[in-house]
Amino acid sequence: MQNFPGVGVSPGRIVGLVRQMPRPLAEPPAGEKLAPGTTADGAADALKAAAKAVHEELRGRAAVAVGDAKAVLEATALMATDPMLIKAAVKLINTGTSAERAAWEAAEAVAAMLVNLGGYMAERATDVLDVRARIVAALRGVPAPGIPASATPFILVAEDLAPADTATLDPAVVVALVTSGGGPQSHTAIIARSLGLPAVVAAAGVDRLPDGTEIYVDGAAGTISTDPGDGERAAAAAWAANASTLSAFTGQGTTADGHLVPLLANVGGAKDAVKAADAGAEGVGLLRTEFCFLERETEPSIAEQVQAYKGVFDAFPGKKVVVRTLDAGADKPLPFLTDATEPNPALGVRGYRTDTSSPGVLERQLAAVAEAAAGSTADVWVMAPMISTPAEAAHFASLCAAAGLKTPGVMVEVPSAAVTAESILREVEFASLGTNDLTQYAMAADRQLGPLAALNNPWQPAVLALVRLTVAGSAAEGNGKPVGVCGEAAADPALAVVLVGLGVSTLSMTARSLAAVASVLATVTLKEAQEIATLALRATSPEEARDRARGKLPILAELGL
């Protein structure tokens, strides 16, 4: 038996056969020139047509996708017709280089530039290289690289997966995902969680396993083993037997002693919201409004935004819907709002900060939210991302008041916001912890990088301490202003118990995680959750914190979580 430790990003226990992702498209020969009889203008037109075809194909996939998959596909589609990429390729064609080789070299240069920028922009390099392969395939008239076809279920293994591939997985065929690269917030991880597929990333060496190898994947523990024995098969069978329990949410989150913990959904549009409502979500804890702004060269009108937001609000009549204002920048650059030349976009003008460089966009968005809320019975709350100081919180609250929005809040993603939560919460009505960004900023670890996966872990005691500080800041106000969590940490049933024990009032997650979190919360009292949280806080490593918490939650082993 061989063991491959990695980072578990989506729970589940599966025994199955490996299918490796096909090798990348062959590189056009270096120095390849235009074919005899082919003009530079003709080759440039062919390149642009291929890029447009790739763009339209990805947009077509995005149109039928929802949530995270939709956002990933839309962002990748943008790369296919990126002016910088096309201009660089045409310039090479004009020197006599073939269209295929020009596309290859131009994409290589753009990807290298993004990697050098670091942070979120480095992750976009994967999108560029994926688009490159698709454009070259279109020029050659051959199918683009993709997930292998199979009539029987299999475990997909790869070095890493392109966004367009992870976004269109068929969970009836691909029963688990394993990669040797990537990190806990990579596209693979995000899509695996949204599809409910067991997944492990950053498992070095798995991409060398031969097709047909039988392996056991534990997405909660983050381990892969070859030659599974009776114990592994029994664990996989138990997971399958509990599938119905883990997919049926009763509609109310509560601890064993009746302490209510509303379980909300993270959504990215109306289709997503309808599915979350059907899954029993008690409301929306995070509406990502970027879905209105992506794939556009200009800002959407107020009327367009009103229609988009109202579709979400109408899915939750009479229930809370928390709207996050536009989180542009970093990995979501917008041509009319953000500066693509920033040396470190993750620490740049993103989220609320764009209001200083492009005033008016935020105010118009708030006006649209207010108009949509007025035409709906949903209880609409609004929060700004990347708030760092009490002055920023006060300014955002004033903008909300001017728009007629009564419940302003802030995202706590920057450590300074957690440390000064008492002052910040004097200015607004609530806070929501974005644990993905809070972790990467607290640990100075890019959340997209596999080599930093151990640091970029929400179980880090330092991150848990920042959660506690935020809750303490709320309590210091004397009126119990609510503090929720809308980051991926809320979808981990064990960590959800710890968060409740730290005083978090609501948890928001992908709709697929609701039942699992509810099942585990229902087995502990509030006092027990507080005791488990204290144990985790006193740990000296994320592994120790996690093990201490899981050791007090036997239900996790019973359910295969």
Return the structure tokens found at 56.
């339209």
Q: Cα 538–539–545 angle (5° rounding)?
A: 120
Distance CA 235, CA 230 (A): 9
Alpha helices in 483-561 (DSSP H): 493-501, 514-521, 526-537, 542-551, 555-559
**DSSP code of residue 27:** P
**DSSP code of residue 455:** T
Q: Where are the beta strands (DSSP E) in 223-288?
A: 223-226, 263-267, 284-288
Tell me, yes or no, if 187 is annotated catalytic. Answer: yes
Q: Are strands 263-267 and 284-288 parallel, antiparallel or unpaired?
A: parallel
Tell me, yes or no, if 486 is annotated catalytic. Answer: yes
Helix (H/G/I), strand (E/B), else coil: 178: strand
Name the catalytic one among 187, 292, 395, 400: 187
Distance CA 435, CA 473 (A): 17
Name the catalytic one among 292, 395, 400, 486: 486
3-state helix, strand, coil in the chain (%, to 5): 50, 15, 35
- HSE-up of 17 (CA within 13 Å, CB side)? 9
Helix (H/G/I), strand (E/B), else coil: 241: helix
Distance CA 194, CA 168 (A): 12
Question: Which contiguous run of DSSP H or E holds residue 100?
Answer: helix 99-117
Taking a C-beta distance cutoff of 8 angstroms, is the pair 175, 154 a contact? Answer: yes
> Which H, E and C letters describe 292-357, residue by residue?
HCCCCCCCCCHHHHHHHHHHHHCCCCCCEEEEECCCCECCECCCCCCCCCCCCHHHCCCHHHHHHH
Q: Which of 424, 457, 324, 323 is nearest to 379 (CA)?
A: 323
Beta-bridged to residue 176, according to DSSP, are 155
The set of catalytic residues is 187, 486
